Amino acid sequence: MNGPQLSELPDDSEQLGPYVSSLRRRALQASELSAVRTFSDGFLIRFLRARDFDVELSLKLLLNYQRWRRESPEISTCLSSRSVLGLLNTSYHAVLPQRDHTGSRVLIYRIGQWNPKDWSAFQVFRVSLMTSEIISTETETQRRGLKAIFDLQGWSLGHALQINPSLARKISSILSDSFPLKVRGIHLVNEPMFFRPVFAMIRPFLSDKIKQRIHMHGADFHDTLSDFFSLPILPPEYGGEGPCIQEACQNWTDQLLQSEKLLQQIASHPTGDIAIIPEDSLISEEVKTEQHSEE
């Protein structure tokens, strides 16, 4: 059975067991994860599905994810939707309620709604991470991946100055090989000429596969987006027949707020695998229990 067929199996399928065990064994042998005791099956399956059950590639992805979390604490340790609620309330970001015809999740980012005087690029990037963490728990998204539409209307020099080479590398690493999600397509609309220098900064860090999946639509996107997305799922602002963009943004903002506790747990967890309680937490719980019994 090949990778795509394995992806269709449920998490508890016996046929997935050998792949999960192999990835767990390899991960626990990795020197940089020497302090980790174990990983849950569900967590490992995310990485296996993202790489079509190729254990070697899944291990690389898992190690990259752990490395990224360690090296970018300014973003990874604060996944609070309330901390960026003002930005979310501008209708900056939506995950559309319906999947596209291939089953992919469809994300929209409206760059013009981001005022760089109010919100740093790190805070804006944090929104993407919160969404990524939430949708990566969805089995259907693990199988079908995501497509993103970046609306660059309103892109300004102020935005461009926020993107330095270091941040460009971090954005690229998430897109390419540091997050357990399949990126099926990146669509840029309304991109101005002076966005190109920033894109040129990001592009070298992207994998060839991701580069091939980037589509620039310009201002005439109404004619071309429909080649990639069915009209019933897209908001009217993007030539579709689905809910308006403000409604879609509000619905996803509500979803992020409802996931606040989950996101905080992921951010504070050593590996992000919240199905496994960190050992120091177990120790503190034992101490609490002993203290309680003594009282």
pLDDT one-digit tens code per residue, 111-168: 999 999 999 888 898 899 999 999 999 999 999 999 999 999 998 888 888 887 777 7
Summarize the confidence of residues 179-201 as an average pLDDT: 88
pLDDT-derived band at 175 (thresholds 50, 70, 90) equals low
Question: Is 153 part of any domain?
Answer: yes
CA 13 from centroid of its chain's CA atoms: 26
- 86 and 207 share one domain: yes
Joined together, the tokens standing for residue 56 give 């070697």
185: phi then psi, degrees, rounded to nearest 5 = -175, 145
Q: What is the pLDDT of residue 19?
A: 97
- 31 and 166 share one domain: no
Q: What is the pLDDT of residue 169?
A: 75
**CATH at 253:** 3.40.525.10
- 120 and 197 share one domain: yes
- 67 and 181 share one domain: no
pLDDT one-digit tens code per residue, 198-254: 788 888 878 888 889 999 999 999 889 999 999 999 999 999 999 999 999 999 999
Q: What is the pLDDT of residue 279?
A: 64
- 249 and 130 share one domain: yes
- 156 and 53 share one domain: no
Domain boundary among the residues 51, 71, 91 is at 71
Q: What is the pLDDT of residue 230?
A: 92
**CATH at 67:** 1.10.8.20
- 90 and 56 share one domain: no
Question: Is 264 part of any domain?
Answer: no
Is residue 70 over pLDDT 70?
yes
Q: In 159-284, which ranges are E strands?
A: 183-189, 214-218
CA separation for the pair 13, 1 (Å, rounded)? 13
Higher pLDDT, 285 or 28: 28
- 247 and 210 share one domain: yes
Domain boundary among the residues 12, 47, 71 is at 71
Closest by CA to 97, choosing from 258, 260, 253, is 253
The domain tally of the chain equals 2
Question: Is 236 part of any domain?
Answer: yes
CA separation for the pair 72, 75 (Å, rounded)? 6
What is the residue range of 118's domain? 81-258
Question: Is 270 part of any domain?
Answer: no
Q: Are the C-beta atoms of residues 189 and 237 closer than 8 Å to each other?
A: no
The pTM assigned to this predicted structure is 0.89
- 56 and 35 share one domain: yes
Is residue 282 over pLDDT 60?
no
Q: What is the pLDDT of residue 290?
A: 45
Question: Is 131 part of any domain?
Answer: yes
> Which residues, 6+ apart, have CB-to-CB distance to 115 below 8 Å?
90
> Which residues, 6+ apart, have CB-to-CB distance to 76 below 8 Å?
68, 69, 129, 267
- 91 and 147 share one domain: yes
Whole-number average pLDDT of the chain: 89
CA distances from 7 to 57, 144, 210 (A): 15, 9, 21
pLDDT one-digit tens code per residue, 31-59: 989 889 999 999 999 999 999 999 999 99
- 86 and 169 share one domain: yes
- 168 and 226 share one domain: yes
Residue 52: exposure state from Cβ atoms within 10 A (0-12, 13-18, ≥19): middle
Domain boundary among the residues 71, 90, 119 is at 71
